[in-house]
Amino acid sequence: MIVIESAALEDGGKGIRFPLPALGEFATGFVVRFNQLPYAYVNQCAHVSVELDWNEGDFFTAQGDYLICATHGAHYRPDNGFCVLGPCKGKSLKSIEVIEQNQKIMINIASISK
């Protein structure tokens, strides 16, 4: 379980990356806040296995309305990870269970498997 302070995530702002050892030595996940709720995903484009952010934690488009793959330009809905634009249209990011309570965001990385 990864636990971060709720205040660490700004709505539509930078995401926070975390390791996902179950998926490999260099695999990461990330959590962002969108419309006041936290969402967590495996940091891997649904098109080709590359991380989404080109600067650490930069997952949103300039408008802050979609998550974007810096390599392919694929656009994903922040609330469900569904790809609406780009080479993987119709596919989705792999979501990770996340719960927010008592000013803490708890990310259940144990729910992720290869």
Report pLDDT digits (tens) over 42-85. Answer: 999 998 889 999 899 999 999 999 999 999 899 999 999 999 99
Domain coordinates in residue numbering, the chain: 2-111
Q: How far apart are CA 103 and CA 66, in angstroms?
A: 25
The per-residue DSSP string of 22-67 comes to GG-TT-EEEEEEETTEEEEEES--SSSS--S-SSTT--B-TTSSSE
Strand partners, 17: 30
What's the pLDDT at 90? Answer: 93
Q: Which residue has the tokens 């995401």?
A: 15
Cβ neighbours of residue 101 closer than 8 Å, sequence gap 6 or more? none
- Is the pLDDT confidence value at 40 over 70? yes
- Average predicted confidence (pLDDT) for the chain: 94
Q: Which residue has the tokens 């927010």?
A: 100
What's the pLDDT at 62? Answer: 93
Q: Which one is predicted more confidently, 76 or 110?
A: 76
Mean pLDDT of 18-41: 95
What's the pLDDT at 114? Answer: 58
| Percent with pLDDT over 90 in the chain | 88
What's the pLDDT at 113? Answer: 64
Residue 42: HSE in the Cβ half-sphere, 13 Å Cα cutoff? 23
- Is the pLDDT confidence value at 93 over 70? yes
Q: What is 2-111's CATH topology?
A: Rieske Iron-sulfur Protein (2.102.10)
